[in-house]
Structure 1
Amino acid sequence: MSFEKRKGDPTALGIFAYGFSLFFLSIYAIGFYRWSESIVMISPALVFGGLFLLIAANWEYNNGNTFGATAFGTYSAFFLSFGIAHIGIFAWGFSSIEVAHFVGLMAVAFTIMTFIYWLGSFKMNLALNLTLLFLLLTFALYAVPLTTLAPSMSTAMGTFPSALKPAGYVGFLDSLLTMWVGAATVINDRWEMAGLKGPIPVFPLGKKK
């Protein structure tokens, strides 16, 4: 008799890593902390969003999950780039306006990329679909003010940094949705291992063959 070792699902790690990074970024953008206290968003971006998402992406790749590996890997790249751009030694020689424009252009690129992931999620489940939809809106709401930021601190969405608040609120809601997806992945997995139906619904989309 042979036993095959059961592989764990890295989805929860990836979802929670991105969700917590987004949570800290969102409360900072909303204005819960002074603008000078950027450590509130930078450290989680580098550790949770950068390192842990990259680890989850590698595990998804080993599990043969192209969608998860690509999504986690690219979002890891975003948070790493975002965090590094705000570290003094790397940002030296660049003005805050230039850094904002860089992050804004990244937000434009990831708005497009998230739209692709969102389309793919229509064959997955409603929980993930809504999570990606709110993330798509979050990136778009960051892209507009950051790419249009002028030296006068005015943007197409009002005065900076208040112009970031809409993105902060939507991002905060999205971080709550990640808790839904992550909790469902972890808790349902444990229940199913005990032969029970998972208690947290995610509402599958698409028809199974």
Structure 2
Amino acid sequence: MSQEKNLKINTDDSEGSYEPHTPGGHAADASQPTMPVYHRQYGNPAPLGLLAYGTVFLAASLFNINARGIHNGSLVLLFAMFYGGIMQTLVGMWEMFLGNTFGATVFATYGGFNMSYGALYLPGVGVQALYTDANGVLSPDFEQAVGIYLLIWDVITLLFLIGCLRSSAPVVWTFGTTVVALTLLAANSFTGIQSLAVAGGVFGLCAAAGAYYAALAGFYSPTVTFKWIKLPPMSLAYSEV
């Protein structure tokens, strides 16, 4: 006999209800047990991207100001290619998945910038070889081309600066100082004046500091560190309050 035939209807008017019951007197429930609902949580990839951004600028800027008397800054290629390039590109993809178009565009763009900057000086890529004559002398055109290259990224950064004016003070500071740094470095490539490279390095250090602050404000929380270790995000978002 089917389950439906074993059910009886409670028609007690005093209770004013019509509820099916099993032969044992229990309320009938033919529904399937519900599956537990899991709400997937996603982390915030922005601090990783900001740390990568700041670290590349920190390394490059230290070499630009000739820290410790070092004049060969080739080591910065490691930061640019593997940390700045790869990590920021991945962060850009993750931001796109999370629906943050601005963050995805910024991080993926700077990931490409870092990898292309690294490739510019890698012998295996051969860009410098194209500007070298038969005697191994580097053509003056190379520095002029690098200046144009930096100016193009300077314009892109300026566009990002305009687009982030209502985000937070550290982010605006980071993009603003990056614009100045790239302008000075491009001018150094055009003119060969070393003091411009040093000035660009100083502003690059300021950009790195802003990126680090924005990153730490994003992941310093009571779940990972002490409550009193907290950086205010300094949001510039519009509020009617």
* Separation (CA, whole Å) in 2 of partners of 1:144 and 1:56: 31
1:35-59 deviation per Cα after TM superposition (whole angstroms, max 9, x unaligned): 2x33321111111121111111111
Answering whether residue 130 of structure 2 is matched by residue 93 of structure 1, we say: yes
Go from structure 1 to structure 2 and tell me whether the alpha carbon gap of 1:188 and 1:110 turns closer, same or farther (over 3 Å shift): farther
> Does 1:179 pair with 2:212?
yes
Rounded to whole Å, the distance in 1 between the matches of 2:93 and 2:154 is 23
Q: Is the 8 A contact 2:51 2:215 kept in 1?
A: yes
Any idea what the Cα deviations from partners look like across 1:132-174, whole Å, max 9, x if unmatched?
111111111111121x24xxxxx3xx3xx44310000110121
Q: Contact between 2:61 and 2:202, CA under 8 Å: does it hold in 1?
A: yes
Distance 1:58 1:102 in 2: 30
- The runs of 4+ residues in structure 1 deviating greater than 3 Å are 96-99, 188-191
Letter in 2 for 1:92: A
Distance 2:114 2:222 in 1: 28
Task: Kindly tell me the number of residue pairs found equivalent between the two proteins.
Answer: 196
1:103, 1:77 → 2: CA distance? 16
TM-score by length of 2: 0.74
TM-score (norm 1): 0.84
| Deviation for aligned residue 1:102 | 3.0
Between structure 1 and structure 2, the one with the greater Rg is 2
Taking the aligned partners of 2:143 and 2:38, their CA distance within structure 1 comes to 53
- Aligned residues of 1:85 and 1:99 also touching (Cα < 8 A): no
**Residues 75-94 of structure 1: matches in 2 within 5 Å?**
75-89=110-124, 90=126, 91-94=128-131
Runs of at least 5 residues in structure 1 that lack an aligned partner in the other structure: 150-154
8 Å CA contact retained: 1:145, 1:164: yes
Identify the structure with the greater helix proportion: 1
- Decide which of 132, 136, 153 is 2:179's aligned counterpart: 136
